[in-house]
Amino acid sequence: MCDTLVAVGKATADGTVILAKNSDREPNEAQQVVIIPPAVHETGATVQCTYIEVPQVRETYGVLLSKPFWIWGCEMGANECGVVIGNEAVFAKIPAGKEAGLIGMDFIRLALERADTARQALEVITELLETYGQSGNCGHLRKQYYHNSFLIADPTEAWVLETVARFWVAERVRDVRTISNGLTIGREWDLASPGLVEYAVERGWCRSRQDFHFARCFSDFLYTRFSDSAARQGRTTELLRAKMGSITVQTMMEVLRDHGPRAAADPSWRPDGLTNLTVCAHASWGPIRFSQTTGSLVSHLAPDLQTHWLTATSAPCTGIFRPVYLEGGLPDLGPEPTETYDPNSLWWNHERLHRSVLRDYPPCLSLYRQDRDALEAEFLVRAAEMYERYRDVPIEERSDLLAAFTAACFERACGATEEWLEKVSAAEIKGRSLLRRSSVQAWLYRRAWRKFNRQAGFAWE
């Protein structure tokens, strides 16, 4: 399960477009952050996606991807033109295809490599969808088959695109918009695939165009219900609407760290439940909470310089956002992560802190949360200064300037993470309250994380 949100125009404090996403995957399904440079391809070339090959285009744009380590496509990403896309699994009355084909994450990368605007990215996805359909397993250890919705943005506009099989419908964003694993477009839209309404009428899902409601006609009740999509989408929309006209990058970071109204009102809240999926997702035992936020992104799409804030790690509530620019590249993130623990990989290195905090969430997080917030706030201030400085620097020096800033932020974040881990590890939290709790849900939660750790070869000391 995932959550993607966007604010455009007068909804943001500076009039820019800001898109954000939490990518929720299996707890050991490490998220890899990569930059793929632009390329020119031979005539007649093909590109191997996760499962199938499709014809390649002549030129592809440089892209920044945050992706499950085993998938060709990505959960979220951006390109050198300022286009940013995040997707969501959605469930429909039409069964999702299981045969090898294009999956939602492939559509994102293909669109980012081929489109220089949000509208063109929408067209790339819908053309591929109508040509190839969408199908294939999207899960790592746990097989998952689903349809997809997308939030697509560039520095001037944003679009919601919702798809079922080869059908699709799109709506241009007017101020703020969020999506969370459920179809949301109803009676009104801006663009749609041919035959959409007629298909629903033929199957008795509605009587006419006047009676047609995309989400109501096409949604599957069971999976949509248990994904808590309505509650999460309502929560993210509420949080953004409360800040209308003053939404910033920091606002989006706060929303991605949200655990719901109950947690906001209760400082003793802990993530050891079995239901109640939250925006900042924490895995637990059972069929409902099998996923964990494994990567987070906030993209600030200023017209002349786009700043992409990534955790490059799981659980944004325990981690820190770091600035990345396509022009400046990425610092060394260590070996490419897999499902096996490797402390030399940035993603798995953070898991030492994340999984230590989970042992007793409220007191452990409180040991460093203020320090984390202060460091992140410093990064935001320096990024704003960098934006002003960037425009005055000669073009040939800009990439080096951005690379140095990104590298410095990553280095400081990694150093701080080590300090925070020492604090959490050294703290004598009497009895480790989670470990001594005797409730059934606490026991099942502990059991689930012991299993996750065992599968990854991770020692929870």
Would you please indicate which residues are annotated as catalytic (active-site) residues?
2
Give whole-number Cα distances, 354 to 4, 286, 320, 365, 428, in Å: 22, 21, 11, 9, 17
Residues in CB range of 424: below 8 A, 6 or more apart? 353, 356, 357, 364, 367, 368
Listing DSSP states for 244-267 in one string gives TT-B-HHHHHHHHT---HHHHH-T
Nearest to 256, CA basis, from 75, 23, 13, 7:
23
Angle between helices 369-390 and 395-426 in degrees, nearest 10:
180
Q: Are 2 and 75 in contact (CB under 8 A)?
A: yes
Phi, psi angle pair for 333, to nearest 5°: -100, 10
Q: Residue holding tokens 């990064």?
A: 379
Q: Are 354 and 292 in contact (CB under 8 A)?
A: no
Which tokens hold the place of 277? 């999926």
Order of strands, sheet of 292-301, starting from the edge strand that comes earlier in the sequence: 176-179, 3-7, 17-25, 292-301, 306-310, 322-324
Q: Residue holding tokens 């849900």?
A: 441
Q: Residue holding tokens 């989006």?
A: 252
Phi, psi angle pair for 23, to nearest 5°: -100, 115
Pair type for strands 292-301 and 306-310: antiparallel
Instruction: For residue 213, count CB atoms less than 10 angstroms from its CB and return exposed for 0-12, middle for 13-18, buried for 19 or more.
Output: middle
Phi, psi angle pair for 222, to nearest 5°: -65, -60
Distance between CA atoms of 146 and 156, rounded to whole angstroms?
30
Amino acid identity, residue 444?
L
